[in-house]
Amino acid sequence: MNRFILLQIIISLRPLQWMKNLSVFAAILFSGDLLNQGLFWPVFASFWIFVILSSGMYLINDVIDIENDKLHPYKKYRPLARGLLSRKTALIIAAGLTLLGLYLSYTLSFNFFIIALAFVLLQVTYNLILKYIILLDIITIAIGFMLRIFAGSIVVLVPLSSWLILTTMMLSLLLAVGKRRSELTLLTIKLAGKHRKTLYYYPTKLLDGITFMMGSATLITYSLFTFNELEIQSKEFIVSYLPQTLASPKWLMATIPLVVYGIFRYLLLIFEGKGEDSPEKILVKDLPLAITVVLWLASVLVIIYALPLQ
């Protein structure tokens, strides 16, 4: 295999979209166990297993959508759409990655294997059937995110907050419908429908309504998640500078303004038509949104791991 073909394979694996699999860390991040090596490494392994599985699914998706991708302003540059990678090669690699990922998941945990298998079956069904059915297409994407977050929890038996589960569900629905709305913004309705048939049947007002609904739901569920988290007993030198009423506050609520801005910024980008066609590209290319995410993550890490009494 020459370097050129290898490069096209790597591009087809969509490394930028691997960040979706970081959701497996949610359980140990918010439980305060991220620095626990006994829990971190199994979750780290589960992250790479989902990278392997999702990469295999991306190849299958590209093979199925090869003709539609040629009509898209960005996807037409994918190796399969450009004819730089053959369908046969892509399918062989996809099968190999899927089998490898499932085998590794079985060695990690049987319960994790069941979730990984469910993820593969869901993605295959999505690529063959569900992505052509209006509404079910975005719900399926959200379920994929949910399987990831449950996998990260079950592999180390760390419980998940009900509000965190709901927040993940609402956020994943927001990202999924936002992607559809962004595609409709970037393309004319005619071209959008040729690229993705469901866009023929999505009324623009419906997509707008669901987008705003999911944005509101994400903010509400995240706020309730932070409100229902345990109060963090802060270190004495911090408490000494605070009023008595803030001696042991629910510090995670301080991150709500960042989430508000992040949601507003995302909505702005998908509606103005200057963004990209996928959330991960928007995150990487839009500096204000990227800074907001970094600040949010830094704030969460400080609140959960630096503020509490040891």
pLDDT of residue 231: 54
CATH number of the 1-160 domain: 1.10.357.140
pLDDT per residue as tens digits for the range 236-265: 444 445 555 555 567 889 999 999 999 999
Domain boundaries, the chain: 1-160
pLDDT of residue 192: 54
Which pLDDT band, with edges at 50, 70 and 90, does 224 fall under?
very high
Q: Are 253 and 163 contacting, i.e. CB atoms less than 8 angstroms apart?
A: no
What tokens were used for 19? 């960040």
- φ/ψ (deg, to 5) at 234: -80, 160
pLDDT per residue as tens digits for the range 106-153: 999 999 999 999 999 999 999 999 988 889 999 998 899 999 999 999
pLDDT of residue 114: 96
pLDDT of residue 75: 80
Query: Average of pLDDT values for 24-44?
Result: 93
pLDDT per residue as tens digits for the range 165-191: 999 999 999 998 988 887 777 765 555
Q: Residue 161: pLDDT above 90? A: no
More confident residue, 230 or 86: 86
Tell me how crowded residue 3 is: count the other CB atoms within 10 A of its CB. 7
Q: Which residue has the tokens 């090669």?
A: 89
Q: Residue 234: pLDDT above 60? A: no
Q: Residue 93: pLDDT above 70? A: yes
pLDDT of residue 157: 87
Q: Residue 309: pLDDT above 80? A: no
pLDDT of residue 261: 97
**Helix extents (H) in the chain:** 3-12, 26-31, 37-64, 66-69, 79-82, 87-108, 110-128, 136-154, 162-186, 189-195, 198-201, 204-228, 236-239, 256-272, 279-285, 287-305
More confident residue, 264 or 227: 264
Q: Are 308 and 230 contacting, i.e. CB atoms less than 8 angstroms apart?
A: no
Q: Are 249 and 227 contacting, i.e. CB atoms less than 8 angstroms apart?
A: no
Cα(148)–Cα(8) distance, rounded to whole angstroms?
A: 27
More confident residue, 160 or 116: 116
Provide the CA 295 distance to its chain's centre, in angstroms: 18
Cα(174)–Cα(160) distance, rounded to whole angstroms?
A: 21
Q: Are 182 and 276 contacting, i.e. CB atoms less than 8 angstroms apart?
A: yes
Cα(112)–Cα(58) distance, rounded to whole angstroms?
A: 21
pLDDT per residue as tens digits for the range 265-284: 999 988 876 556 677 888 88
Cα(60)–Cα(56) distance, rounded to whole angstroms?
A: 7
